[in-house]
């Protein structure tokens, strides 16, 4: 077993060097598809991060309490709300606290509020929800409770954002699936060419009494090596471009949408792993599938 693995390794690498043209063509096609995939990946990761950050601002529901609602009643309400599914945290905001926040927001004109005889602001409960999708449901639930005057949450904004995010994520998945599909066809055809060119060789090997796995071994090694080379090239290339991009527009983007771009390190590690897995899988898959016809009896 070990003997045949080392045989496959050696032969696979020798084979690769003796078929430089075919190898280059295969590596190029895997590389091209990984690059396009990488771009989609970079964009979708960043859009995701952007929406996550934005969502955090909107994942709250504010429940205003009637003035006659006592602190004890408010606490009962809070317990009920905390127990509800999808609720992350609740926080009581007294009338005084609400006024303070408003004063803060008004800034220099805040003193105007001092002249008010009676505090007109209601007390409220701030509910943080697990995810945006839960906000609407939590709000509905809060509406059924007693002692509540009004409920406010960014329903429309939230719904729009959710729609956009879902759409973006769905299109990213579709685009990636499509790309994988296309590249798999391209790669398998390239490998088929290689195998076809070696059809004669394979027949001869069978005459000499080689088993199918013995014949496949070097081709699989070849596939793995080509996959790994493409993955490394693609990762390096995307990193280089991405680094330049961050240098060029990173700070502008931070200023405009107040979210940073995903860091180069994070991207390198994750994309490197995905590329290696994908590149190797395509290489191996290409070898096995495209040889099937030539290895049947």
Which parts of this chain interact with another protein (CB under 8 A)? 3-4, 7, 15, 18-19, 200-201, 203-212, 214, 297
Q: How far is the CB of 207 from another protein (least distance, A)?
A: 5
Question: 123: which DSSP letter?
Answer: P
Continuous segment of H or E residues that includes residue 90: strand 87-93
Would you report the helix, strand and coil content of the chain in percent, each value rounded to 5?
80, 10, 15
N-terminal to C-terminal alpha carbon distance within the chain: 23
Q: How far is the CB of 6 from another protein (least distance, A)?
A: 9
Closer CB to another protein, 15 or 29, in the complex: 15
Write the CB contacts of 271 (distance below 8 Å, at least 6 apart in sequence).
Answer: 38, 41, 42, 235, 238
Closer CB to another protein, 6 or 157, in the complex: 6
Closer CB to another protein, 1 or 83, in the complex: 1
Q: How far is the CB of 218 from another protein (least distance, A)?
A: 11
Q: How far is the CB of 31 from another protein (least distance, A)?
A: 25
Closer CB to another protein, 16 or 125, in the complex: 16
Q: What is the dihedral of CA 36, 40, 41, 42, to 10 degrees?
A: 100
DSSP string of 202-223, one letter each residue: HHHHHHHT--HHHHHHHHHHHH
Closer CB to another protein, 20 or 68, in the complex: 20
Q: How far is the CB of 4 from another protein (least distance, A)?
A: 6
């Amino acid at each position: 077993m070990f003997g045949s693995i080392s045989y496959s390794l050696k032969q696979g690498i020798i084979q690769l060097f003796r078929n430089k043209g075919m190898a280059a063509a295969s590596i190029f096609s895997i590389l091209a598809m990984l690059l396009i995939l990488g771009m989609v990946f970079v964009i979708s990761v960043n859009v995701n991060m952007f929406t996550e950050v934005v969502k955090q601002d909107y994942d709250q529901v504010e429940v205003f309490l009637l003035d006659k609602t006592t602190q004890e009643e408010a606490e009962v309400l809070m317990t009920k709300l905390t127990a509800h599914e999808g609720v992350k945290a609740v926080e009581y905001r007294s009338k005084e606290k609400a006024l303070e926040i408003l004063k803060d927001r008004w800034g220099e004109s805040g003193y105007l509020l001092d002249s008010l005889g009676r505090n007109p602001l209601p007390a409220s409960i701030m509910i943080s929800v697990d995810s945006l999708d839960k906000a609407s449901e939590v709000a509905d639930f809060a509406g059924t409770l007693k002692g509540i005057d009004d409920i406010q949450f960014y329903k429309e904004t939230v719904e729009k954002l959710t729609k956009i995010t879902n759409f973006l994520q769905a299109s990213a998945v579709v685009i990636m699936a499509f790309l994988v599909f296309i590249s798999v066809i391209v790669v398998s055809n390239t490998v088929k060419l290689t195998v076809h060119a070696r059809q004669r060789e394979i027949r001869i090997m069978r005459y000499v009494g080689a088993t199918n796995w013995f014949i496949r071994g070097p081709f699989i090694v070849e596939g793995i090596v080509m996959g790994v080379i493409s993955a490394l090239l693609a990762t390096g290339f995307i990193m280089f471009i991405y680094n330049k991009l961050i240098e060029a527009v990173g700070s502008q983007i931070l200023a405009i949408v107040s979210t940073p771009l995903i860091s180069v390190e994070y991207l390198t590690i994750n994309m490197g792993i995905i590329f290696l897995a994908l590149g190797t899988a395509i290489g191996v898959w290409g070898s096995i599938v495209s040889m099937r016809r030539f290895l049947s009896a």
